[in-house]
Structure 1
């Protein structure tokens, strides 16, 4: 990924972010998984956040993203998790009553990508996605 620029800034701010549904429930499969992928992609476009790699696994989401320096990571995650919850409940109202309005757990994991290569993060995310696909095929939907 090349350096990006704002009016007076050249930047390369890349992060690896992991977040989970409330109680780490294994619910991210089937149509919900596809909807979450679309929702996250849409919300990132709204904020000019580039998704470099990503995977929606059965019980967590991995993102490798480039966030402009004018947006702090905690603000972006509050926006992403808050708006995506509303959009998920709009598409899947049956989930709304299960966890008292919160779809995502309160926290998240974030690390800057710099001490390891982009390829290593993308390889890790791809491996997690493969593992999740294997687990998804083993589980049965209700």
Structure 2
């Protein structure tokens, strides 16, 4: 177990985050998938979040992250979903036509700490999700 440090604290906060596209449309492919990945990395870097593992499927995103205590998970999700939705729809005009009047991402998200399960179980799940992304999440 590796502890992280802030100016006045020592912490170990690991979160498993999952969110999906609106209506689970399978649009996270090719350049869109790469752009969403880059935007999520950028938001995490700006806020001091370490990405331990991340997996993008065609219709949802899994991230296992280390979050500093000053950052609220709902704010992190708001930043990642909001910025990626805005930029992707602006950079890929065909998506804006499809999602006109709708959101790119679904309304909610899933978040859990790894207190109930071990870190190895989450990492093993994400590894199997990379190998078979459609069956592992259902």
- TM-score norm. by structure 1 comes to 0.87
Higher mean alpha-carbon deviation, 4-13 vs 90-99, is at 90-99
Alignment partner, residue 63 of structure 2: 63
Alignment partner, residue 91 of structure 2: 91
- 1:12-91 alignment, distance < 5 Å: 12-91=12-91
Higher mean alpha-carbon deviation, 25-34 vs 13-22, is at 25-34
> Quick check: 2:21–2:106 contact (8 Å CA) kept in 1?
yes
Alignment partner, residue 8 of structure 1: 8
> C-alpha root-mean-square deviation of aligned residues, in Å?
1.6
> Quick check: 2:48–2:68 contact (8 Å CA) kept in 1?
yes
- TM-score norm. by structure 2 comes to 0.89
Quote the Cα distance in structure 2 between the aligned partners of 1:87 and 1:81: 10
Q: Secondary structure in 1 aligned to 2:97?
A: coil
Which stretches in structure 1 are left out of the alignment for 5+ residues?
135-142
Matched length: 134
Q: Secondary structure in 2 aligned to 1:71?
A: coil
